[in-house]
Structures are given as structure tokens and as C-alpha cells.
């Protein structure tokens, strides 16, 4: 289903953002998003996040957390033996159904830990950007140490190399 907003002008003028536009188009209004279990998304620091899901009634062995590529999948399946035999409910307000919740993760987001306490499942996330991807300052013409090692003169290293090759020829 297409969204009400047309992203084609942005697709023409950007490079490498196809995945972002696909996500925006696929998660637009009209999609039947289930809202169980409810969750909170918490920013703990510049690169630290936490997802808290309300999973009352679930035990740790009934919850499965899977992180793959850029998707975090949290699912819960109630086992049949957890049903109390011979218990007759007059009213059942606590959800006892299975669930599957997907979270789209940005690049370089890693799952650090998960904990279940007092009916809240907490999943700690951290953004770990590799050193090669971090911004770095590039000096123009190389550093002063490189010039002195090559020829020590005032001329750029490339001009010194050309002059040295001309003398040797």
C-alpha cells in the first residue's frame, strides 16, 4: 500500500536512502499495526536506549528475543501447561494471548541485554559506530612530518617527487 505522501522527488535527489523511504512507505497509515503488548522507548544517553514491554503473566522461557540485520523481534507464546487446571474464571482481564512485536533498528544498533522484572521486559540497546565510520579530519597536502620526511622543502611532496624523477632521468 502506498502512503499519502509521494517520496519520488526525494528518491531522485538522494543516494543510498532507499531503505529509509521503503520503511516510511510501508509503515504509513492504513497498516494494521497491533498494539499488544504496550511498550516504552527510552533514551538513556547519547548512544544508549531501552525498550520496555509490558508482558504481565509471561515467564522468561515463554519469551523469545531475536535480533537480525536491522530488526528486533520479540515474541511471546504461552504454553498449555501454564493454564491452571480446574480454575474457573469469572472474568479474565489479563491478556493471555501470544504476541509478536517487531522493532526496526537503525544501522549499528546492538542489543546489549534483556531482563524481565515485575512484568516489564527491558531490552537495552546501544549504538556502536565502527571507527572507520566515525568522522575524522583530513589535512590538505599532508602533515608537516610527511613533507620533511620526503624532501624537507617548502614545495608539496608531489612536486618534489616529480623533480627527483626528472633529475634521475
Tens digits of pLDDT across the chain (169 residues): 455 667 677 666 666 666 666 666 666 544 445 688 999 999 999 999 999 999 988 999 999 999 998 889 999 998 765 456 678 889 888 767 899 999 989 888 999 999 999 999 999 999 988 888 888 888 898 655 554 445 544 555 554 554 555 555 5
pTM flag (> 0.75): no
In this predicted structure, what is the pLDDT of residue 51?
Answer: 95
CB 55 within 8 A of CB 63: yes
* Cα 61 to Cα 136: distance, rounded to the nearest angstrom: 45
C-alpha cell belonging to residue 39:
511498550
User: Could you say which DSSP state residue 70 is in?
Assistant: T
Measured between alpha carbons, how far is residue 29 from residues 1, 7, 19, 26 in Å? 9, 15, 18, 9
Question: What phi and psi, each to the nearest 5 degrees, are found at residue 73?
Answer: -115, 120
Q: What pLDDT was estimated at residue 4? A: 66
Q: What are phi and psi of 100, to 5 degrees?
A: -145, 120
pLDDT reported for residue 30? 44
pLDDT at 1: 46
Which whole-number Å values give the CA distances from 55 to 80, 88, 122, in the listed order? Answer: 17, 23, 10
The reported pLDDT for the residue numbered 44 is 94
Residue ranges of domains in the chain = 1-33, 35-133, 138-169
Provide the CATH number for the domain formed by 35-133 in this structure: 2.60.40.790
Tell me 81's DSSP state.
G
Q: Which three cell numbers stand for residue 161?
A: 617527487
> Rounded distance, CA 65 to CA 68, Å?
10
Q: CB–CB of 107/70 below 8 Å? A: yes
Amino acid at each position: 500500500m502506498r502512503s499519502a505522501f509521494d517520496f519520488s522527488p526525494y528518491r531522485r535527489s538522494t543516494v543510498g536512502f532507499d531503505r529509509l523511504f521503503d520503511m516510511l512507505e510501508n509503515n504509513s497509515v492504513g497498516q494494521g499495526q497491533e498494539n499488544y503488548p504496550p511498550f516504552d522507548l527510552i533514551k538513556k544517553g547519547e548512544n544508549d536506549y531501552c525498550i520496555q514491554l509490558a508482558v504481565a503473566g509471561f515467564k522468561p522461557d515463554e519469551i523469545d528475543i531475536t535480533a537480525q540485520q536491522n530488526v528486533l523481534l520479540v515474541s511471546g507464546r504461552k504454553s498449555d501447561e501454564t493454564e491452571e487446571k480446574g480454575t474457573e474464571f469469572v472474568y479474565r482481564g489479563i491478556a493471555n494471548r501470544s504476541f509478536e512485536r517487531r522493532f526496526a533498528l537503525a544501522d549499528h544498533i546492538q542489543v546489549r541485554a534483556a531482563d524481565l522484572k515485575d512484568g516489564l521486559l527491558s531490552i537495552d540497546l546501544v549504538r556502536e559506530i565502527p571507527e572507520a565510520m566515525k568522522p575524522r579530519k583530513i589535512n590538505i597536502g599532508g602533515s608537516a612530518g610527511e613533507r620533511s620526511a620526503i624532501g624537507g622543502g617548502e614545495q608539496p611532496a608531489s612536486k618534489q617527487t616529480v623533480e627527483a624523477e626528472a633529475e634521475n632521468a
